[in-house]
């Protein structure tokens, strides 16, 4: 008889914990739903808020490897290097906007852009001087 009481107690305990778990999941779902509706309303008003996870990921992002790749592309393929540099700078600016911190390597990308534009500027200036009317 004692064993049956213990089994009944365990069954009731398992049923209670299962119902409690379902209730907890339902409450978490409702809370998430309310938060998403609230975020949608804020987004409609023009306010964009980022989650803590997005901020953490953006603050840990490093562009040192990307700047090395861009440097190699500048050495071997100038135009793709310039394009990749601009794309990585846009990503770094987005990470800055999300996290509020300047990501590692963003300064390298910016300096590579300025250094990479020097040959292009020299080429354009020489081209203009060579093909102007009255020039030799």
Q: What is the pLDDT of residues 30-78, one digit of tens each?
A: 677 677 766 666 555 555 667 777 777 777 788 888 888 888 888 888 8
21 falls within a domain: yes
Per-residue confidence (pLDDT) for residue 9, from 0 to 100: 67
For helices 64-76 and 106-130, the axis angle rounded to 10 degrees is 20
The verdict on pTM exceeding 0.75 is: no
d(CA 22, CA 107) in angstroms, rounded, equals 50
Per-residue confidence (pLDDT) for residue 86, from 0 to 100: 92
Per-residue confidence (pLDDT) for residue 89, from 0 to 100: 92
Q: In a 10 Å sphere around its CB, with 0-12 CB exposed, 13-18 middle and 19+ buried, how is residue 63 labelled?
A: buried
136 falls within a domain: no
- Both 63 and 88 in one domain: the answer is yes
Give residue-wise pLDDT tens across range 9-26: 666 666 666 666 666 666
- Both 2 and 28 in one domain: the answer is yes
135 falls within a domain: no
Number of structural domains in the chain: 2
- Both 28 and 45 in one domain: the answer is yes
Torsional sign, CA 116, 118, 122, 124 = positive
The answer to whether the beta carbons of residues 73 and 113 sit under 8 Å apart is no
- Both 120 and 88 in one domain: the answer is yes
Q: What range defines the domain where residue 33 resides?
A: 1-49
- Both 115 and 67 in one domain: the answer is yes
114 falls within a domain: yes
């Amino acid at each position: 008889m004692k064993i049956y009481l213990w089994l009944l107690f365990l069954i009731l305990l398992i049923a209670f914990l299962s119902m409690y778990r379902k209730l907890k999941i339902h409450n978490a779902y409702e809370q998430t739903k309310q938060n998403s509706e609230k975020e949608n309303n804020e987004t409609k008003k023009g306010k964009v808020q980022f989650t803590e996870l997005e901020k953490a990921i953006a603050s840990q992002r490093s562009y040192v490897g990307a700047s090395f790749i861009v440097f190699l592309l500048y050495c071997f393929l100038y135009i793709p290097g310039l394009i990749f540099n601009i794309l990585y700078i846009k990503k770094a600016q987005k990470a800055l906007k999300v996290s509020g911190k300047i990501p590692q390597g963003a300064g390298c990308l910016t300096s590579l852009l300025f250094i990479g534009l020097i040959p292009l500027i020299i080429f354009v200036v020489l081209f203009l001087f060579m093909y102007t009317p009255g020039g030799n």
